[in-house]
Structure 1
Amino acid sequence: MKTEHTPIFSDASAMKDLPGNSVDLIVTSPPYPMIEMWDPVFTDQDPKIGQNLKKGEGQKAFEAMHRILDPVWEKCFRVLRPGGFACINIGDATRTIKERFSLYTNHARILSAALDIGFSALPCIIWRKQTNAPNKFMGSGMLPSGAYVTLEHEYILILRKGGKRIFRSGREKEIRHESALFWEERNTWFSDVWMDLKGTTQSLGDKAERKRSGAFPFALAYRLINMYSVKKDRVLDPFLGTGTTMAAAMAAGRNSLGYEKDPSLDTVLKRSLEDLPALAREIIRDRLIRHLQFVARRVEEKGPMKHINTPYGFPVMTSQERELILNTPLHMTLSDDGRYTLEYDPRPQEEFCRDWAALFAPASEARIKIPRHSEPAKGIKQGSLF
């Protein structure tokens, strides 16, 4: 299996060259209106925004910023295939302008624009971001009526173009089953509140560069791509930044492309992707180890599991997981025109192929050692029994 990934250093208006109905999934996070770090980006495109901010006309500036984003969502709708999803990570903004504090509801404004375009809204995800802040209030402290709560969550809007995606051919159905999630992953990932993403697997890029681009955690993009696409699908990010969505697509065995108007981020992206194959192998290994940990607990508490995964031989909860396989990237090449190509191993990882059903059976005398959650996957020796 091969995948191709193309960063295009131009703003999202270049999507006019992208054929309609040619993208399976969009995962992105735009510049956040009314967050000060993005003021220059918006003002460069509409000088009236800066004037509105100076005059204290926050609501006018807010609306003008979103009018810059609106055409991007229109283009996203055009290039998305029927049944395809758009996942937009966006946070609301709080800001004091001319001594007046206010909340600017970015998620609601984008959702309204998306519905007008023709998207259908599905239940969104609230990403409860981790914070080390000791205080949970702002304003007047312990005195009533003047305080306001801190904003510690962001939204992931889940939008769909048209109705449910249909997998028609036999091969399409095979790829869908090979792209399945583990039952226990599905139960966590498809919750409407995410509190477990701490950025522990976002080993991509310098912190200062990530802050400059406003990048979301690698784990967030990787999770969404696995939830809303299948292997070999095309994933688009119209605000590519440091390439987090592209890297996650590579790790998940999807194709991708992205648009970024800041050409200086090309060097950052290349540096970020250098270690992608190794990072992907670690992420895949961690997913497999976590599944085995789940199986061990489940068998101990509930007894033998009914279904067996064919490639690996370990127990799974449902028949839909029987053909699941996580393909390991072997190596990556970069062409002269800036396109990345990844090749994947079609075989399951040898160290995870055992007669797991027998090993987990109650009558088995084999002692199974599975790493604790605190033990990194890279610390597990090749060929160990776990």
Structure 2
Amino acid sequence: ALARDDGPAAFEAMHRVLDKVWDEMYRVLIPGGFICINIGDATRTLAGNFQLYANHARILQHCLQLGFCNLPAIIWRKQTNAPNKFMGSGMLPAGAYVTLEHEYILVLRKGKKRAFASAEEKALRQESAFFWEERNAWFSDVWFDIKGSRQKMNRDDVRTRSGAFPFEVAHRLVCMYSVKGDTVLDPFGGTGTTALAAVAAERNSVLVEIDPTLTKIAQNSLKEDAIATGNATIETRLKNHRRYVEEKGAEFFKYQNEPHGFPVKTRQEKNILLRSLCRRTSKKNEVVFTYATKVPNDN
């Protein structure tokens, strides 16, 4: 299709391949489970005609046909000061185009809201809660605070551009839409960013990746970086909350977090438990992490 300069046909052919991925995601998701799709739209000039190809709209259309429930999406704003970000005819009207400095994070759910019925399920959900100030940032519809562009791989035997995204994007989504002990599936495993985020949040993860070189990179990352990355992430969350407590003052907080011993804003934060990683064991295609049984307490 591209050889014929038929952009719409090429666009549709690509998405028919991706449709199979979303079909499988719908099949394996638990009732009430979420799918989060980070996708940017694309632009292309074919036969002298500049056009936007709305990937997010095409994916959303197919997911709704499958039966997913559409939820408010996130716009990840990736502002750049690069002088070449403007497209088209410069300062002349009727030929210049607005910049494309954002990506979408589509959020969809399989079926109705997830139920947490047993005492164990409720306890894990409470341990997995996020801080008041995290909620305010994470559940805003536009994310301005995560910088970084998609990573370029500096190896000849790897795709020129990987699908890797900043760790913080994956970590937020894992914390927002799953609880401890859940299994997070990434059908585009890439360099293993989602798995690192899952480890930091005490979730299990499964990666699927067709490129053996990227698979090796992901495996090495889990073995070499996961404990340090996870512990740094946990410590940053704790430090940020302690700083928030200092900034707001004691009168702002009504409750006490029991595991860590610091003030929190709401009752739902009382049982947040962030445990550090202490050990890793590896098998052929599996890496298992052990978490500390005790946590530092401010009391």
What TM bracket, shorter-length normalisation?
A: over 0.9
Report how far residue 334 of structure 1 moved: 1.3
C-alpha separation in 2, matches of 1:156 and 1:210: 23
Report how far residue 132 of structure 1 moved: 3.1
Which of 279, 293, 297 is the aligned partner of 1:346? 293
Aligned to 1:289: 239
Deviations 1:367-386 (A, max 9, x none): xxxxxxxxxxxxxxxxxxxx
Contact kept? 1:327, 1:345, Cα under 8 Å: yes
Deviations 1:21-40 (A, max 9, x none): xxxxxxxxxxxxxxxxxxxx
Aligned to 2:126: 177
Aligned to 2:186: 237
1:277 aligns with 2:227: yes
- Give the number of equivalent residue pairs: 296
CA RMSD of aligned residues (A): 1.9
The secondary structure found in structure 1 opposite 2:14 is helix
Aligned to 1:307: 255
Unaligned runs of 5+ residues in structure 2 are none
Report how far residue 137 of structure 1 moved: 2.5
The secondary structure found in structure 1 opposite 2:253 is coil
The secondary structure found in structure 1 opposite 2:33 is strand
Relative distance call for 1:347 and 1:206 in structure 2 (3 A) is farther
1:317 aligns with 2:265: yes
Which of 105, 108, 111 is the aligned partner of 2:57? 108
Letter in 2 for 1:354: D
Q: How does 1:197-276 map to 2 (within 5 A)?
A: 197-199=146-148, 212-273=161-222, 274-276=224-226
Letter in 2 for 1:227: M
Aligned to 1:326: 274
The secondary structure found in structure 2 opposite 1:232 is coil
Which of 134, 141, 148 is the aligned partner of 2:90? 141
Letter in 2 for 1:138: M
Relative distance call for 1:205 and 1:250 in structure 2 (3 A) is farther
Relative distance call for 1:259 and 1:292 in structure 2 (3 A) is same
**TM-score, structure 1 as length reference:** 0.74
Report how far residue 61 of structure 1 moved: 0.4
C-alpha separation in 1, matches of 2:153 and 2:12: 33
C-alpha separation in 2, matches of 1:304 and 1:66: 49
Instruction: Among all aligned residue pairs of Structure 1 and Structure 2, give the percentage whose two residues are the same amino acid.
Output: 56
Q: How does 1:158-173 map to 2 (within 5 A)?
A: 158-173=107-122
Letter in 1 for 2:212: P
**TM-score, structure 2 as length reference:** 0.94
